[in-house]
A and B are shown apart, each in its own frame.
Chain A
């Protein structure tokens, strides 16, 4: 069942852009195993490191925020982030659910 908070997140992104903030949209594009959130779940991040929404139960958000701020500083417009339990980093980030998840981050312009 598609949850409406997604619309709140999109509206917030639009309002951030109105205030001339640089914004990144993060979208869950694939999940495997026991990932908590469904495909399409969204989160937005701005240049100040503020964020709204979530892409997991708190497992990978910190990394997504860091990568998003990095993206805002370089010339690329998008990046795919893969988090997996078999990935050494994933344990650091703490994907304790035992699943894997791909998050696509992109600049909103």
Chain B
């Protein structure tokens, strides 16, 4: 395989488009594939099969051929509200997964105090930013401030729009009062129950890294259910 193909994979991964790596196992040739691109002579004869596997996001040696395909899907968009200590560990753990994180916090003090590397941080009220985001079934929202005036509008936005995962930090009691507020604002039980709250898988830990681990574990669990 040519080193240029590996360099292209790194480059393409940082753009948000999806693509696939193809290998012709009978002659050792490889190339990257996108729907709009032409296939070279090494792969042309298998165009239909390749497109079929690409559309189904199926990986492996295509049945009855010597063509291997590996799909590179877009990262999961994770919007975190609250540039708090737990968010630092979420960023740390997320590096091992196909996740793209954006942090929103209207409190300038938090934005300045915490250090986040290579992460988009927005110092603004979440409802203002969320309105500009095109969410889909690959978008997740995690609210961490447990301050109703910051968290609630973000949660309300997520319940009205397409998010595959919505999680809210807070004790059982905090979450109960949060649910009551949402109910008063006219949200249905079904909508409210879709929030993972208290957020995270139960690991029994109370420290920031332990809570972040339980959140990431739950996010990975929900992501794996998506079949993407």
Q: Find chain B residues with CB under 8 A from A17 CB.
A: 3
Cross-chain contact B10 with A3 (CB below 8 angstroms): no
Q: Does A93 contact B (CB under 8 A)?
A: no
A92 within 8 A of B: no
A108/B6 in contact, CB under 8 A: yes
- A4→B3 contact, CB < 8 A: no
Which residues of chain A from 71 to 109 have a CB within 8 Å of any chain B CB?
77-78, 80, 102, 104, 106-109
Residue of A nearest to B68 (CB): A29
Residue in A closest to B60 when the chains form the complex, CB atoms: A39
- Interface stretch, picked from B80-88, B94-102, B206-214, is B94-102
Report the minimal beta-carbon distance from A38 to chain B, rounded to whole angstroms.
7
Q: Does the CB pair B28–A77 fall under 8 Å?
A: yes
Query: Chain B nearest CB: distance from A104 CB in Å?
Result: 6
| Contact pattern, B 64-88, Cβ under 8 Å of A = 1, otherwise 0 | 0000101011000000000000000
Q: How far is the CB of B167 from chain A (nearest CB, A)?
A: 17
Which of B1, B10, B61, B98 touches A30 (beta carbons < 8 Å)? B61
Contact (Cβ within 8 A) B6 A80: no
**Size band of the interface chain B makes with A:** 20 to 34
Mark contacts of B47-75 with chain A using CB atoms, 8 A cut-off: 1 yes-contact digit, 0 otherwise.
00000000000011100000010101100
Q: In whole angstroms, how far apart are the Cα atoms of A82 and B10 in the complex?
A: 28
Q: Find out whether the CB atom of B10 lies under 8 angstroms from the CB atom of A29.
A: no
**B23 contacts partner chain A, Cβ-Cβ < 8 Å:** yes
Tell me the bound Cα distance from A104 to B59 in angstroms.
14
B97 and A7 contact, CB distance less than 8 A: no
Interface residues of B (CB under 8 A from A): 1-3, 6-7, 9-10, 13, 21, 23, 25, 28, 30, 59-61, 68, 70, 72-73, 95-98, 220, 223-224
Given contacts A7-B9, A14-B3, A106-B30, 6 further A-B contacts (CB under 8 A): A4-B98, A27-B68, A102-B61, A104-B23, A106-B28, A108-B6
Q: List 24 A-B contacts (CB under 8 A).
A: A1-B98, A2-B73, A4-B95, A5-B96, A7-B10, A7-B13, A10-B6, A11-B10, A13-B3, A14-B7, A14-B10, A25-B1, A25-B6, A27-B23, A27-B70, A29-B23, A29-B25, A29-B60, A39-B59, A78-B28, A80-B25, A106-B1, A106-B28, A108-B3
